[in-house]
Structure 1
Amino acid sequence: MVNNNSPYLCGGIFFALLLEIRKQRSKARDKFLGGSDGLSDTDILKGLIYVVANQENAPYAESFKKNTSEYKSCRYSGGAYIPFKKTHVINSFDNDVKNKYPNALNRMSEFVNKYLDESKIEWLVKALLETIDLDTRISGTHNFYIQSSGQAITKAELATLTNIELQPFLLGVLHYIILHRPDNKLGRPTYEAWYTQSTEYSEWEFTSGIGSGINRPLNITFTPMQEESTPEDEEIPEFSEWSDEATDDTTSKTINQFINNPTIVNQRGKTNIHINHVDTLKL
């Protein structure tokens, strides 16, 4: 069991803290006239999924809204629409952070620019630092990839850090969560300690003083967009949901297919090249 007196770092808690510093939302009348302001809980969770999975998703609205609420309140760990427990998603994100760091960092930079209020960033960093510091299940030797160089530092080193680059810091904390905290429900006691309800069916309100325990001065900077480490024309598939069958063990095969009298059109830029005879087409 989780120690109820100790914060527990998990995806729901991380997501809930991000929601506390989202950009100012449009008034109800403005949203009625112009549609969504793009800052709903579901919008921001979609953005977080994109950071991790590098794929857009278009889930069924009502199901995803319920999933989002349950994920934030640490009653749900993920599934078809929130793929944080999918093995191939975890492995791909880990590979991006360790081997294609600029790509993952750029996705986090896009997330920060789109959703977060810059004036509240210091509180968020302090809240996460204190949560990590007080989480007794994170040992002093656990690594966090929070450096813009892509290098990791330990929890013990993090406890004394004063110069923090925001996007690498958030990416490193998220990476730790995705790899080491698959059971989001373990954060439920923390959520109940930090949020209160005036009535059984009213909205939960954030009442915690988390972050106030970090008294050292912090120099928080923003990291500029990085040069991508893969070709710009690399195709990234888009999925409405993720399946465990779509996966890590897929192997590449060469198929020889014989076609009688084919005509092949190969388009490069604005020029079409017609090839009227091919004996063997290798796919």
Structure 2
Amino acid sequence: MSKVIEINNLTKTFGNVTALNNISFSLGKGKVLGFIGPNGAGKSTAIRILLGLLKANSGNATIFGKDVWKDSVAIHERIAYVPGDVHLWPNLTGGEIIDLFLSFRGVNVDKQRKETLMRRFDFDPTKKARTYSKGNRQKVALISAFAADADLYILDEPTSGLDPLQEKVFQECIDEVKTKGASVLLSSHILSEVEQLCDYVAIIRQGEIVESGTLDELRHLTRIQISLKTNKEVPELAEQKWVHNLTFEKNEAVFQLDSEYMDELISYVQPYGVIKFESAPPKLEDLFMRHYQTEEDS
């Protein structure tokens, strides 16, 4: 599979502050990568390097096999970018700004696609940008991005300010561009969105990639939620190394289980007459919180 984005051992410092520390990840053609982490983790710095707005101290990053710093002009001809905080010209209408953004790409605009996107996003293009809410400013950027053909979409918190209905339209647009063979780098705080849309996930913490891989690979590392009820009390359940955060709710033991210890759990509780045994598959949010919980909580 050809690599659309490839980052190898990338480091970026600002004075004595290390924003990115030797990070590496890649994105293949026609795939969606979820790039997640809290504010200050290094997501936006990495994206600015990919866009050619910042130069890394060391390491290398390429898009379409081209150096993101030296070949940024050629790269930008094939990408669409949506920031998390969109600033617009206050005296232009939303429609005028969308047309202006599309003209920057130097390609023929599919007017029907643009009109369709404005209807789907329930967007009024006749109002001046100074009257727009944050959500409407995001719509301007999203419509501009999806109205033009691109091989790569770089989206930095793109649904900030959108209501749930518009988030659903956004998710549909991602599926559509992916079907056409485009790739997407999606930076998001909305873990359910990442879980639904992304083929791969890279979690960044304090400038370092702490986990990366497919959702299935990452779920293997998370803990399963277990609800257990038995005829007899299970002794020393809380003392087992694979049981975490044990509580009792309505005579049921509720806890998290390290997924690789399922066989041990079943063998351990079987002699006590299992009445109810339910397991919930781990979610991306579980893994995310495990990496960001404080030392006191771990």
TM-score by length of 2: 0.29
Task: Normalising by structure 1, report the TM-score.
Answer: 0.30
Larger helix share, 1 or 2: 1
Larger relative strand fraction: 2
Structure scoring higher RCO (CA < 8 A, sep ≥ 6) equals 1
